[in-house]
């Protein structure tokens, strides 16, 4: 959870094995009820994971804990003050800060949500990950240079990042 211009970012749900962010949301006032709702939205129709690794933040109150228990998810809590026990989440939070939010001024909650949606689109389809052998979470085809090809720059996340591709020269 981070504070950007009075707007709290919370509710990122990430699949560890493939680094896919399956859900995120933004609120100024996260509560146990709100956090429980994020799990409902992240895991609809019997798609809940077997385990949920989380820290000991107060937003995971009794409402959240009861909800997770009712949908048969086993909670695994990290030790107090031990962020290294959940390295995937710590890494994505750091990447979001370093590669996106440290470079913009967040105007409001909707602006933050749009920016994060753009960043996650880039993160899933364009940004390579060493832990995935330099692949993206959703994969991307290798593009071969066409005959008389021209290298083009494709803007991502409002120009914070770029992807390069080939286009046939005119």
**Domain residues of the chain, as ranges?**
2-140
Query: 76-135: per-residue pLDDT in tens?
Result: 999 998 888 888 888 888 999 999 999 999 998 899 999 999 999 999 999 988 888 888
DSSP track, the chain: -EEETTEEEEEEEEETTTTEEEEEEEESS--HHHHHHHHHHHS-TT---SEEEE---TTS-HHHHHHHHHTTPEEEEPPTT-GGGSHHHHHHHHHHHHHTGGGS---SHHHHHHHHHHHHHHHHHT--BGGGTSB-TT--PPPPPPTTEEEEEEEEGGGTEEEEEEEE--
In this prediction, residue 1 carries a pLDDT of 43
Query: 41-57: per-residue pLDDT in tens?
Result: 888 777 888 889 999 98
User: Does the structure show a pLDDT above 90 at 66?
Assistant: yes
Show the tokens assigned to 117: 């949606």
Q: Compute the average pLDDT of residues 134-163.
A: 88
Q: How confident is the model at residue 169 (pLDDT cuts 50, 70, 90)?
A: confident
Cβ(92)–Cβ(19) below 8 Å = yes
Q: How confident is the model at residue 160 (pLDDT cuts 50, 70, 90)?
A: very high
Whole-angstrom distance, CA of residue 98 vs CA of residue 67: 33
Q: Compute the average pLDDT of residues 136-163.
A: 89
β-bridge pairing 51-54 and 74-77: parallel
In this prediction, residue 159 carries a pLDDT of 94
Query: 7-49: per-residue pLDDT in tens?
Result: 445 567 888 778 889 899 998 888 999 999 998 888 877 788 8
Spelled out in words, what is the top-level CATH class assigned to the domain 2-140? alpha beta
In this prediction, residue 10 carries a pLDDT of 53
């Amino acid at each position: 959870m981070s504070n950007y211009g009075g707007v709290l970012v919370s509710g990122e749900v990430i699949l560890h094995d493939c680094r896919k962010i399956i859900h995120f949301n933004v609120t100024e006032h996260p509560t146990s009820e709100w956090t429980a709702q994020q799990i409902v939205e992240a895991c609809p129709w019997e798609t809940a994971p077997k385990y949920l690794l989380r820290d000991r933040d107060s937003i995971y109150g009794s409402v959240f804990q009861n909800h997770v228990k009712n949908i048969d998810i086993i909670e695994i809590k990290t030790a107090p003050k031990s962020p290294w026990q959940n390295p995937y989440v710590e890494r994505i939070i750091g990447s979001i800060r370093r590669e996106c939010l440290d470079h913009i001024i967040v105007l409001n909650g909707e602006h933050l949500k749009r920016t994060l949606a753009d960043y996650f689109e880039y993160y899933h389809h364009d940004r390579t990950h060493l832990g995935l052998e330099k692949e993206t979470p959703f994969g991307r085809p290798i593009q071969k240079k066409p005959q008389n090809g021209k290298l083009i720059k494709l803007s991502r996340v409002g120009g914070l990042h770029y992807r390069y591709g080939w286009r046939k020269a005119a």
